[in-house]
Structure formats: C-alpha cells, structure tokens
Amino acid sequence: MADDVLIKVDHVSKKFCRDLKRSLWYGVQDIMSEVTARKYEHQLRKDEFWSVNDISFELRRGECLGLIGPNGAGKSTLLKILNGLIKPDKGRIELRGRISSLIELSAGFNPILTGRENIYSRGAVLGFTKAEIDKKLDAIIDFSELEDFIDTPVVNYSSGMKVRLGFAVAAQMEPDVLLLDEVLAVGDVGFRAKCFNSIYKMMKNAAVVLVSHNMPQINRVCSNIVVMNHGQPVFQGEDVPKGIDKFYSYFQGEEEGLVMGSGKAVIHEVELESNGKKGVKEINYLDELFVNIELTIDPSISLSCMQVFILGQELQNVAQCDSRVTDTVIQNTGERMQIVVDLGKINLNPGIYALTIAVTSDNYGEHLAKLYNVNKFNVIGKYYGYAPVQIAGDWTVK
C-alpha cells in the first residue's frame, strides 16, 4: 500500500565543487538565487561534478535497501541527503515517521558526556521523553554490552564501543526509518550477528538503508539494492545477488600470480579444461572442470601433496580440493610432472573466480610452492543466488 512507503526519493541530485574558493562563491550565488526567487540553474559550472545524479527509489515498511558501489560513488552523500544533513540540488525526498541514523562512528554523540548521558541526549533528539528513555535504558545498555563503561565519557570509547552504543540506541528506540553507513564494519563477530538479528526485527516495522562494502552483509539482510558508480544508479531492483555481481565487475584489476613458498617446488603452468577444450576462461553452471598443472619438485622431497583452492570475488576461499582427502600422494620423479585434477561439476554462483595452487610436503609441514590468484574464469548461469554455492538438488513434488 502507498501508506507503507516510508522513503521516497524522486530524481535526487547533488553537485560539489573541487575548488574550495570557487565552491564558496558558488554557494553565495545559489543563496542569492533562492532569496531573490530567480531561476536556479542546475548546469555544472567550472570545477563542479555530480556526486549524486538522478537517483530515484521507494522503500516500504519491512524492506532493507543495500546501497553499494566503489569508493567515491556517492553512497554516503546520498545517505546524508536522506538524513537532512545535506540539501539536494535537484529532486525531492519524502520520509515518514521517526528517523534514526548511524552515519559516522561517533553516531552524533557528545564526547565529553558519558555513555548513559548520551543515551538520554540521543533519545531526546529522536523525540522520546525522559520517562520513555528510562523504560528502555536497561535494554540499551544490555544490548551494547557496555555495562562496565556506560558512565565513562564517550571520548574514551574505541570506535567499536561507539558503534555498539549507537546501534543499541537506534535498535531499542524502534525507528520507522534507519540509516546505516558502514557501522557494522567495526565490532566482533558476536556483536555483528546480534546487530543483524536486530535489523531483521526492526524491518517488520521500519525501512532500513544500509551502506556497506561487505557483500555478505548486503546479501544477508537486504531485500532491495541500488548500485552506484560516479553518482549514478547503474543497477537497482530486488535481484540483490545480480546487483552484487555488478558491483564486483568494477574490481577486476587486482594483482595476479603471486608466488609464495620455500621454492622447493616450481609450478610452471596451470591450465583449465572443460568440455574437451583447454585454456577455457568461461564455463557454464554444472560444467565439469579440470585443472592441468605442470610442476617440478626438488629431488630432496620424495612425497608431497597438493591443494587447489577456488577464490571468490573478494579473494576468499569458497572451495578447496586437497589430495589428502583421497589419500593421494604425489611421488616425486625428479622431472617435470603433469598433474590433472578433476574438480567435478562446478555448482558455483555465477561470477568471476580464480585459483590458488599449493604444493606441500607429505606431512604438510612445509609449503614448497604456492601460486596465488591465477587462472580467472567466469561461471555462467541463468540464476544469481545468495550463496557462493548453488546445489541443484533432486526435487520431488507429491
């Protein structure tokens, strides 16, 4: 229903100037244009650029929007516009209900006040009475896990402690609109899990906008996504995994082929093979994939093992194949060898992947050679899933 729309962004744009002096002069001109009711020109002037350019979306109660993009894409600027910290140059924004935000690590806290005093200050800003904050105080302190430091000035808090307190206030105050900018990048695993569970609960009665560079976080909680680049929306919709794949497409220039290890083994060549073709760079979902490896091992090593790791788009290990699992031991011939590894049918989510090849001594005590981030290949599929691995399954309907 239209009444459930808590955030409406209609063709919003914001421009900035790279030169400080010229920016101040432009600001004076813009103020005079508003005061005298003259027509305001939205064309770019010298040294100006669009930080946010023509963004539109609606967010309803119960939805979480993931706002992602490379550094400098305009994500934080848009979030500050939503929070009323920056005025847009074009477009219109409508927000309904109580709004809470965590845009900076300090979360708007007064550093000379204690954590307890900041809870009351923050609650008052959100429109709560002292009596209402009194009822929620114990829950806020308990959520933040800062019982021993709640009467300590916030200036002495670490960045993680500030996030704990800020998120605890935002969660327990039950806002209608919650704006989060990279705040979950700080803190331990247990607290982040608690935050995500809290976001799930808040989404029942709130609209959440989450800015993050952590794609598993975005995948985990977001129902909608907007991918920004150079201030413009390059992808938006409800297909969150496809939006994340678009985001990853901007990061394909990382260093490849890093060599590590003791040097007692040399990996000469790694080649991918699928459907009878060698040197492939692209395979379909559930294609069988072979890795052909040519290597030489130092004569002092008689027995060795190998590991093949598949790296995801953030260069994390998403799968591995270890010769020890099948009790396969490589007998060193002293000459150049060819090892063929059948990785089976690849059921990875569509996207770009790479390999890491490692050779270790038989007792796994010494890394003889490790070739990191090589042989990129693209997995093609018609469906973008939320997990790195897609299990086809054998489905029966009765």
What pLDDT band is residue 1 in, cutting at 50, 70 and 90? very low
pLDDT at 185 over 70: no
- The pLDDT score that the predictor gives to residue 209 is 93
Second-level CATH architecture of 2-248? 3-Layer(aba) Sandwich (3.40)
What per-residue confidence (pLDDT) applies to 198?
83
Question: For the structural domain made of 258-380, what CATH number should be given?
Answer: 2.70.50.60
According to the model, what pLDDT value does residue 364 have?
60
| pLDDT score of 53 more than 80 | yes
Mean pLDDT for the chain? 87
Categorize the per-residue pLDDT at 207 as very low, low, confident or very high, splitting at 50, 70 and 90.
very high
The pLDDT of residue 243: 93
φ and ψ at residue 328, rounded to 5 degrees: -90, 120
pLDDT value, residue 99: 85
Question: Which residue did the predictor score with more confidence, 9 or 162?
Answer: 9
345 alpha-carbon distance from chain centroid: 28
What's the average model confidence in pLDDT over 216-240? 92
Strand order in the sheet with 48-60: 48-60, 5-17, 90-95
Is the per-residue pLDDT at 230 higher than 70? yes
Task: Tell me the pLDDT tens digit for each residue of 84-133.
Answer: 888 898 899 999 988 887 776 555 688 899 999 999 988 887 778 899 89
H-state helical runs in 11-129:
20-35, 75-82, 115-125
Express the helix, strand and coil content of the chain in percent, nearest 5 each: 30, 35, 35
Output the pLDDT for position 2. Answer: 45
- Per-residue model confidence (pLDDT) at position 378: 95
More confident residue, 153 or 28: 153
Evaluate if residue 182 carries a pLDDT over 80. no
DSSP letter string over 180-222?
EESGGGSS-HHHHHHHHHHHHHHTTT-EEEEE-S-HHHHHHH-
Mean pLDDT calculated for residue range 305-328: 92
Q: What is the pTM of this model?
A: 0.79
Question: Which of the four pLDDT bands, split at 50, 70 and 90, describes residue 195?
Answer: confident
pLDDT for res 42: 65
| 347 pLDDT above the threshold of 90 | yes
Q: 361 pLDDT band (50/70/90 cuts)?
A: confident
Give the pLDDT mean for 57-68: 93
**CA–CA separation, 79 vs 163, rounded Å?**
17
Domain with CATH 2.70.50.60 in the chain: 258-380
Residues 281, 270: contact at Cβ < 8 Å? Answer: no
Using the 8-state DSSP alphabet, how is residue 176 labeled?
Answer: S
Question: What's the rounded Cα separation, in Å, for the pair 301 and 60?
Answer: 63
Q: Is the pLDDT of residue 22 over 70?
A: yes
| Interval 235-256: pLDDT, tens | 999 999 999 999 988 876 556 6
Q: What percent of the chain stands above pLDDT 70?
A: 93
**Is pLDDT of 55 > 90?**
yes
- Residue 226: predicted pLDDT: 96
Positions of CATH 3.40.50.300 in the chain: 2-248
Tell whether the model's pLDDT for residue 20 goes beyond 50.
yes
Mean pLDDT of 329-344: 92
pLDDT (average), residues 145-168: 89
> In the prediction, which pLDDT does 252 show?
66
Does the structure show a pLDDT above 90 at 152?
A: yes
